[in-house]
Structure 1
């Protein structure tokens, strides 16, 4: 194997992590209009996971989970921009210790910076392909590429016809929504090109068979009921892995995984022992086709963010448990209006006109009014049955026939919050059980 003279069978490992990419916004995950040839190629040549979930629906808390294998309250970085606790090992430390050369390109969104000592760091994610092409070290490479797209501001749309875009049922159909959606699609396509440049270099160098290449994103897209929200739109993510000879091409796995599982999975692939005491669990056996399941359920948390000020900052914490068929949510501050950059930002590069168009349409349209109310005002508890309601439109928390599901999931979530030393979650859940 070229490039692995001193590392024997240990693979190069590349994580490509985009920013704010909706789980089903690619051809590989069922969108027939969006142009994502690189993601589609990766899925055709590797395994597509259909039930992967971020631990939290905001950028920096989610990336701290990926980098540590610890859920938000255990690593400490559960609020946007807050640092991880002392004494916690991170991805670059684990892989440097394992003999890998570590490099990070693009968005570096975890604090404090010194706790993530990659040996090579560049802000420009587009420089990753050149670095990879010129990499000649004998050490195996652990490379993380974090694209800025499709985070806002989105690029100008010169590709898509807004009228041809299929909107999900939890969107309000307005011209502004379609124009924003076309710009978002354009940014997804830009990100896909960046991914393609990395894939092409791996293949051109002859590294394809000796490289575990994983694509995912930090959380859901920057749309209502997605980012900032502990719904599937905010927590469910695309996850595709390619490793010829180890992962069957064109395979699909429906087992539930958390992004906390990425660290132990990559260490497992490198032949390293999985650290004791972390929350993540290796899903390498599922990638290799040795298992069809991984977790019975995945937990998620949201604390919020202060940046942006009143009307933009989000102070609506939530906890959630997702199983195969259900999602249970407890909102810790249901009395607080759910504000985000979507609702409060009215100018500048991050302004998205579609929200104001939703408000205007809601003045006369009952469906629009209902969606706006649901976004701005969250009840204490929510329950959704994905077999009947994949877009989480019908809250079943008060339905007597689901009382047993509510009781069981409340207890599970409470016990998990206790294990995480999540005092805020425990305080709210305890009286509900």
Structure 2
């Protein structure tokens, strides 16, 4: 049996793209037996949220424990955004703790994989295209696990899947439609999929969901292969296995918003003989809590300069002070789209900055089948400056209560909470200091991935 001499476990962290909580163990009607098995054998966190509902900013918070407006990654890595030069990541912490750190597949926080801190790079997708599908990434991980020796240091393996991200129908064009319907993936029957409760039940949306689920099947199969490889190598019992996602699913009124479907993310952890199998935790948690939590689990001191705090006591029967709220943000995806928000167990408050459509649809979704079904109504009116939702009465955030006289006190309280958070975290948006500099704007808008929603096509 392969083992390391340290008491520290190996860590395998699997993280697909754009999946949100859309797997079986979170109640969705999709078959994901291998992912669900991690929940059955470990801990499922029901109310775990990212900081921003798009790729690089969400991942930046996961790795650094800091909000995007603090770590510098407010936009996408392949459009030129980067972490601040002095920003530290969980990977760097693990290097210092004696771990051998390995990257497989996607990372999407930097154009330079060394910037994230990995000692061994077995793949470094920093964009979103499915150039290295999940089965190929799984094969690389299987090969690595077969070669782990008894005297190896404990290892950390980051396993990133590019699924479930859409692909453009015409290479490097944002206007010509984006799809989940790619060669090599099965598809569900559009008639059999369960409609998304926050979108109308229309053919284009069902079509996208059917192909989306086909990619999910591929993710689940790859998860099963990696789990089997851990067992075959005799590493299962001494490995902390983590399955998580960056942000919500790539559909309208999800990705690119502060609504729950855009910011709710899966987090499953299994550590045999350490975590009670089948545990479901309902505490309100944020991705900025991830880095300090993992470090504390591994016996390391969490850094003091992070925006999150460890929820390790939830996993070790310690004393934990519950969060009353989490904070959310959005600044730049395919265009400047600034939002700040706060979510409690019951209420959501969103503040919108600038003159924007009712619901922003990011470029990859705008010309998709689902995007074409709803964009006229979403772009047909302006977004209100403030939004307030009662998540208990209105879980799909359809009725904005910001102008309801009975909600005046609640609105004022949450407005103040956002003001104080922005002030405490030195958010430049509070003082109107964004958009970014003209130099940054020039670099972004000269990118080959330029969104053009003005009627022009390639």
Under a length normalisation based on structure 2, what TM-score does the superposition of the two structures give?
Answer: 0.83
Match for residue 421 of structure 1 among 419, 423, 426: 426
Specify whether residues 178 and 408 from structure 1 end up closer, same or farther in structure 2 by C-alpha distance, changes over 3 A only.
Answer: same
Residue 72 (str. 1) matches residue 77 (str. 2): no
Match for residue 52 of structure 2 among 49, 56, 77: 56
RMSD: 2.0
Which runs of 5 or more structure 1 residues have no equivalent in the other structure? Answer: 306-312, 346-351, 363-368, 429-433
Specify whether residues 292 and 44 from structure 1 end up closer, same or farther in structure 2 by C-alpha distance, changes over 3 A only.
Answer: farther
The whole-number CA distance in structure 2 between the counterparts of 1:426 and 1:91 is: 31
Residue 220 (str. 1) matches residue 248 (str. 2): yes
Match for residue 363 of structure 2 among 334, 341, 350: 341
Give CA-to-partner distance per residue, 1:94-153, whole Å, 9 cap, x none.
Answer: 111100000011112112523222111122523122212322252001111111111113
Alignment of 1:19-418 (within 5 A): 19-23=17-21, 25-31=22-28, 33-81=29-77, 82-111=81-110, 113=112, 114-123=114-123, 124=132, 125-126=137-138, 127-136=140-149, 138-153=152-167, 154-156=180-182, 158-290=186-318, 294-305=322-333, 313-335=334-356, 338-342=360-364, 344-345=366-367, 352-358=368-374, 369=377, 372=378, 377-418=382-423
1:166, distance to aligned residue in structure 2 (A): 1.4
The whole-number CA distance in structure 2 between the counterparts of 1:293 and 1:48 is: 19
Which runs of 5 or more structure 2 residues have no equivalent in the other structure? Answer: 124-131, 168-179, 434-458
The whole-number CA distance in structure 2 between the counterparts of 1:293 and 1:162 is: 44
1:427, distance to aligned residue in structure 2 (A): 4.6
The whole-number CA distance in structure 2 between the counterparts of 1:105 and 1:426 is: 40
1:67, distance to aligned residue in structure 2 (A): 1.4
The whole-number CA distance in structure 2 between the counterparts of 1:147 and 1:342 is: 18
Matched residue SS, 2:337: coil
Matched residue SS, 1:186: helix
Q: Is the 8 A contact 2:311 2:320 kept in 1?
A: no
Matched residue SS, 2:191: helix
Q: Is the 8 A contact 2:366 2:372 kept in 1?
A: no
Give CA-to-partner distance per residue, 1:289-342, whole Å, 9 cap, x none.
Answer: 43576422111110112xxxxxxx232210011111111100111445734225
Matched residue SS, 1:48: strand
1:21, distance to aligned residue in structure 2 (A): 0.5
Specify whether residues 384 and 199 from structure 1 end up closer, same or farther in structure 2 by C-alpha distance, changes over 3 A only.
Answer: same
Q: Is the 8 A contact 2:255 2:362 kept in 1?
A: no
Q: Is the 8 A contact 2:252 2:361 kept in 1?
A: no
Matched residue SS, 1:187: helix
Specify whether residues 292 and 382 from structure 1 end up closer, same or farther in structure 2 by C-alpha distance, changes over 3 A only.
Answer: same
Matched residue SS, 2:269: strand
1:88, distance to aligned residue in structure 2 (A): 1.9
Question: Which stretch of the first structure deviates more once superposed, 161-170 or 247-256?
Answer: 161-170
Matched residue SS, 2:73: coil
> How many aligned positions are there?
400
Under a length normalisation based on structure 1, what TM-score does the superposition of the two structures give?
Answer: 0.87
